[in-house]
Amino acid sequence: MDADTDSTVSELRRLKTSDLLARFLQLAAPAVSELDGEYSAELLAQPNLFAVVTGKVAVANPLGPWLCKAFRPVDDNGGRGYNTFDDRGRVRQRYPMRTLLAPSRFDGEPAYTLVYRAYNSLCGTIHMVDEVRRAAPGVYLGIGTCGFTAAHRRVPRPFLLTGPIGPYRGDIGTPRPAFTPGRRELPGPPV
């Protein structure tokens, strides 16, 4: 990473959740074709104790830490992806997603959006959706959301992606038959 990239990463790691969301709102979405390969991933400041605990259990767990998110453009409008975790020294792909550009639930502007519900997985079951915008070349600020109610899905869970650090390993997951993203996944501009 160059000095500007390092500076951006350091700044994002220091910010609290409300400042990360404010920063996210100032950023532009990358094109679908820009994100191709594996990107190192880490949680940033979380909004509350529940998000901290669930984040530590789900992705910051020392027994199976989150390593990356990965993306493969399929066409100009979308693609596929997955997450990887360290499983006792072996890299495991989990939680497939469909990617597309869509209006952010936070400001209605375009965001590179990861829809997990397109595939059968725990992340799909809890209506997880991640939105990603470019903070600097090779540095992406993400805001994850999940939950069974609209209020739960408005709680921002920031994360950082850097890279690419490696090639896409291959598609995983079983698609939900005839799935079309709905208001839970793509709510459009905030009301």
**Torsions phi, psi for 45 (to 5 deg):** -55, 130
Q: Which among 94, 95, 176, 174 is positioned nearest to 129, based on CA atoms? A: 95
Q: Which among 136, 137, 154, 132 is positioned nearest to 145, based on CA atoms? A: 154
Q: What is the pLDDT of residue 190?
A: 54
pTM for the full model?
A: 0.94
Is residue 101 one of the residues assigned to a domain?
A: yes
- For 54, the token pair is 């669930």
Q: What is the pLDDT of residue 140?
A: 98
In this prediction, the residues of the chain whose per-residue pLDDT falls under 50 are 191
3-state secondary structure of 17: helix
Summarize pLDDT for 29-61 with one digit per residue, the tens: 999 999 999 999 999 989 888 888 887 777 777
**Domain region containing 7:** 3-133+142-158
Q: What is the pLDDT of residue 191?
A: 44
The domain tally of the chain equals 1
Q: What is the pLDDT of residue 80?
A: 98
Is residue 170 one of the residues assigned to a domain?
A: no
Is residue 168 one of the residues assigned to a domain?
A: no
Is residue 179 one of the residues assigned to a domain?
A: no
Distances, alpha carbon 8 to alpha carbons 41, 66, 137, 149, in Å: 15, 21, 10, 33
